């Protein structure tokens, strides 16, 4: 991709990033409308018998709604930008020629959705050379729209998100996390929590990695960590958290075979990373089996 005048190191101008962000917002809104419209027929497990299938385990489900949402997103993006690349959670993958790749999670928080818990989201990011340059995370139930453009800040419903350095100690930090869908992996993660939980205010498991990262960005969580995330889980939310001022880090050996993504508010990154590393070293490396 040839760099153009006024472009940043991604090769995209501010105008181009704005256009990508506008498209992502528009498509996320449409996909959110679909998810909200289908929720009454799905919530409570009414599609579990025929409309849902297991992905990695019986507790990791993909529904017809996931696939419909992804089809809507991919179709909309390619109608607007037919030469872009696509990477979607539910299998949509294609190579393009523009250098822009859309990284899509059409329904982040599927289990919440199946149970009617209103914590799920559409996550759409545009990346260049493996780095997110714009990101949108939309909760269709609350109507909240988190957005970010690299170098231009993060926003919630158009209001600027800018984290200030927190003065609270780690013991007063509210921390989010998520768990593997595989039982043996969850057992390993539980051992970590036995060290972490006594050292923080409390732990939350929201069920949507994209929203967890956005909640760090807007101050609803002080920190967040999770192992085994896929690119579509964090592409948009990670950019939003970073643009809001959170620190994003990766711990490679906390759980063997699966990097741990860590987001923390300014001022908490060092003590929280030290706590995670202490939790890992005190119990030894945890194997994440297939």
What gap in Å lies between CA 217 and CA 41, rounded to an integer? 32
| Strand locations in the chain (E) | 52-54, 61-63, 85-88, 93-94, 100-108, 121-128, 131-138, 145-149, 153-156, 159-161, 174-177, 202-204, 223-227, 247-256, 258-264, 286-287
Residues 36, 157 share a domain: yes
Q: Is residue 52 part of a domain?
A: yes
The domain that holds 179 is classified in CATH as 3.40.190.80
> pLDDT value at position 288?
39
What gap in Å lies between CA 208 and CA 229, rounded to an integer? 11
| Residue 269 binned pLDDT confidence (cut-offs 50, 70, 90) | very high
Q: Is residue 1 part of a domain?
A: no
**pLDDT single digits (tens) 22-39:** 999 999 999 999 999 998
Q: Is residue 230 part of a domain?
A: yes
Domain C-terminal end among 142, 161, 180? 161
Residues 55, 36 share a domain: yes
Range of the domain at 254: 170-287
> pLDDT value at position 191?
87
Q: Strand, helix or coil at 37?
A: helix
Which H or E run contains 262?
strand 258-264
Residues 240, 269 share a domain: yes
5: left (phi over 0), alpha (psi -120 to 50) or beta: beta
Strand partners, 146: 137, 156
Residues 35, 151 share a domain: yes
Residues 73, 32 share a domain: yes
| Residue 271 binned pLDDT confidence (cut-offs 50, 70, 90) | very high
Closest listed residue to residue 9, CA positions, set 128, 99, 94: 128
Residues 218, 190 share a domain: yes
Task: Inform me whether the pLDDT recorded for 15 exceeds 80.
Answer: yes
Residues 233, 210 share a domain: yes
How far is Cα of residue 36 from the mean position of the Cα atoms in its chain? 19
> Could you tell me which residue, 287 or 63, shows the higher pLDDT?
63
Q: Strand, helix or coil at 263?
A: strand
**pLDDT single digits (tens) 178-235:** 988 777 778 888 889 999 999 999 999 999 999 999 999 999 999 999 998 999 999 9
- State the total domains in the chain: 2
Q: Is residue 5 part of a domain?
A: no
SS3 labels along 66-120: HHHHHHHHHHHHHHHCCCCEEEECCCCEECCCCCEEEEEEEEECHHHHHHCCCCC
Residues 56, 120 share a domain: yes
The domain that holds 49 is classified in CATH as 3.30.540.10
Residues 134, 79 share a domain: yes
Residues 230, 142 share a domain: no
Q: Is residue 7 part of a domain?
A: no
Q: Is residue 274 part of a domain?
A: yes
Domain C-terminal end among 161, 191, 210? 161
Q: What is the pTM of this model?
A: 0.89
Residues 127, 25 share a domain: yes
Residues 24, 152 share a domain: yes
Instruction: Provide the terminal-to-terminal Cα distance of the chain, rounded to the nearest Å.
Output: 38
Domain C-terminal end among 128, 161, 194? 161
What gap in Å lies between CA 280 and CA 290, rounded to an integer? 20
DSSP state of 50: T
């Amino acid at each position: 991709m040839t760099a153009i005048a006024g472009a940043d190191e991604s090769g995209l101008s501010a105008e181009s990033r704005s256009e990508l962000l506008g498209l992502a917002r528009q498509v996320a809104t449409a996909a959110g409308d679909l998810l909200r419209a289908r929720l009454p027929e799905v919530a409570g497990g009414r599609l579990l018998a025929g409309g849902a299938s297991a992905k990695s385990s019986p507790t990791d489900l993909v529904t017809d709604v996931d696939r419909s949402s992804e089809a809507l997103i991919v179709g909309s993006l390619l109608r607007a930008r037919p030469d872009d690349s696509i990477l979607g959670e539910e299998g949509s993958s294609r190579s393009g020629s523009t250098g822009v790749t859309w990284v899509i999670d059409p329904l982040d928080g599927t289990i919440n959705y199946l149970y009617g818990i209103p914590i799920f989201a559409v996550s759409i990011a545009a990346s260049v050379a493996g780095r997110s340059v714009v990101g949108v995370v939309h909760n269709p139930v609350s109507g909240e729209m988190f957005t970010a453009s690299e170098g231009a800040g993060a926003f919630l419903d158009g209001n600027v998100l800018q984290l200030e350095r927190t003065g609270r100690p780690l013991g007063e930090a509210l921390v989010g996390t998520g768990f593997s869908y595989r039982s043996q992996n969850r057992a390993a993660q539980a051992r970590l929590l036995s060290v972490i939980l006594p050292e923080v205010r409390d732990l939350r498991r929201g069920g949507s990695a994209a929203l967890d990262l956005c909640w760090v960005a807007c101050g609803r969580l002080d920190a967040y960590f999770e192992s085994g995330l896929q690119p579509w889980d964090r592409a948009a939310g990670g950019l939003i958290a970073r643009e809001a001022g959170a620190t994003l880090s990766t711990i490679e050996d906390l759980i063997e075979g699966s990097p741990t993504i860590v987001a923390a508010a300014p001022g908490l990154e060092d003590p929280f990373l030290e706590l995670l590393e202490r939790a890992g070293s005190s119990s030894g490396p945890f194997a994440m089996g297939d």
